[in-house]
């Protein structure tokens, strides 16, 4: 294989990109399904409610402080920010922080996701359309396939894209220079990231569930932006049932607003809020029907556990990833579920929450018999 170095990346890429596709197929430089414009992809409400700068961001105090130092240091040195990896359960603000990084630096952000970047050509199309100091946000980065991930390594470390042009004996390697950009990766499952990929991020931050006062602040701010007339105790009630997650808090606020406008006088009172959340089957601490069904299944079908993830998912007719990423983190956080080496186990608190008496521990004499 002979090596070829391309000095004018955009021009060379225009002629070489088709060779990275399957025979007979020509891929355009950028396609809408591979790179997502935040303004068209995000829900309008989320765009309205999303804080744009660190000063507006509520919660995640340690992450916010460390990120602020990282950004200010890069500004003072007049250099691009190191690559950033954001980890944590869904809805805690990873995407918001990626946009904040771009806004704080005054640069553009290109948004895509692991499943969307499904081949080397798609990755190259995005990378070669970046400009210096742009932010490239990859959501669900743990879902990149192996070929794409390995193509990303030199881009992150040496700011180059290595492409193989042609097939068979006529194939050649091309090294395409890239501008110095900042990659922000987001993942709900840090353990699925390979070591080489994780090590190429200079800053790794983990986001945790929010406190009730932080969520009250977020709900109050969102209510003001959306011009919702809401009582203080209603704000507190929404925050209490939001599972420590801003995305859920804002979703519940919008549903309460809908209920108040249709079934009430438009004001979100405490009674209106409780009726709206009861209709949604959101209980006093934020558990949804599937959360309760999960606990009941482990208790009633599997005697409280332990039960394996795949078996539990089959019993609930859900994907294992949905249970592991969406439902388990909060159930573990509130102490209703425990993960052990043998499987999932419902705790005494979990038993009591679903109205079932926890099993009594066996006495030593009973065990001997």
* H/E stretch holding 131: none
Query: How open is the CA angle 65-56-241, to the nearest 5 degrees?
Result: 95
Active site residue 342: no
Is 188 an active-site residue? yes
- Which residue among the candidates 241, 247, 257, 292 is catalytic per the annotation? 247
Residues whose CB falls within 8 Å of the CB of residue 209, separated by 6 or more in sequence, listed in order: 89, 92, 243, 244, 245, 329, 330, 333
The one catalytic residue among 187, 188, 245, 273: 188
Q: No. of H helices and E strands in the chain? A: 18, 10
Q: Any residues with CB less than 8 A from the CB of 86 and at least 6 apart, and which?
A: 94, 97, 98, 184, 185, 186, 187, 205, 207
| Pair 217, 58: CB distance under 8 Å | yes
The active-site residue, picked from 34, 50, 64, 94, is 94
- Catalytic status, residue 131: no
94 is catalytic: yes
Encoded tokens for 202: 């200079």
34, 50, 95, 344: the catalytic one is 95
33 assigned to active site: no
Question: Of 92, 134, 97, 14, which Cα lies nearest the Cα of 249?
Answer: 92
* Catalytic positions: 94-95, 139, 188, 247
């Amino acid at each position: 294989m002979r090596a070829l170095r391309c000095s004018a990346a955009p021009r060379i890429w225009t002629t070489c990109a088709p060779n990275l596709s399957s025979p007979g197929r020509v891929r355009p430089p950028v396609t809408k399904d591979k790179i997502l414009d935040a303004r068209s992809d995000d829900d309008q409400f989320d765009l309205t409610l999303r804080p744009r700068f660190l000063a507006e961001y509520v919660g995640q105090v340690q992450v916010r402080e460390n990120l602020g130092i990282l950004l200010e240091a890069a500004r003072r040195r007049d250099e691009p920010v190191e690559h950033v990896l954001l980890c944590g359960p869904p809805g805690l603000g990873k995407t918001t922080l990626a946009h904040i990084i771009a806004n704080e630096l005054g640069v553009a952000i290109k948004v895509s996701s692991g499943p969307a970047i499904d081949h080397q050509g798609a990755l190259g199309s995005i990378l070669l359309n970046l400009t210096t100091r742009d932010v490239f946000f990859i959501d669900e980065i743990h879902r990149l396939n192996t070929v794409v991930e390995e193509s990303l390594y030199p881009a992150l470390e040496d700011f180059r894209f290595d492409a193989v042009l042609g097939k068979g004996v006529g194939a050649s390697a091309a090294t395409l220079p890239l501008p110095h950009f900042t990659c922000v990766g987001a993942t709900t499952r840090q353990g699925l990231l390979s070591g080489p990929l994780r090590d190429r991020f200079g800053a790794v931050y983990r986001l945790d569930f929010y406190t009730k006062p932080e969520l009250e602040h977020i709900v109050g701010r969102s209510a003001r932006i959306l011009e919702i007339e809401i009582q203080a105790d209603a704000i507190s009630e929404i925050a209490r049932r939001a599972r420590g997650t801003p995305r859920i808090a804002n979703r519940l606020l919008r549903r309460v607003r809908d209920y108040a406008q249709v079934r009430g006088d438009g004001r979100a009172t405490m009674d209106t809020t409780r009726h709206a959340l009861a209709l949604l089957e959101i209980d006093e601490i934020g558990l949804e029907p599937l959360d309760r069904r999960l606990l009941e299944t482990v208790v009633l079908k599997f005697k409280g556990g332990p039960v394996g993830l795949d078996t539990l998912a089959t019993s609930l007719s859900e994907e294992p990833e949905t249970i592991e990423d969406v439902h388990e983190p909060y159930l573990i956080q509130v102490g209703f579920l425990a993960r052990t080496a043998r499987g999932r186990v419902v705790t005494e608190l979990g038993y009591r929450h679903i109205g079932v008496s926890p099993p009594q521990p066996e006495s030593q004499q009973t065990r001997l018999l």
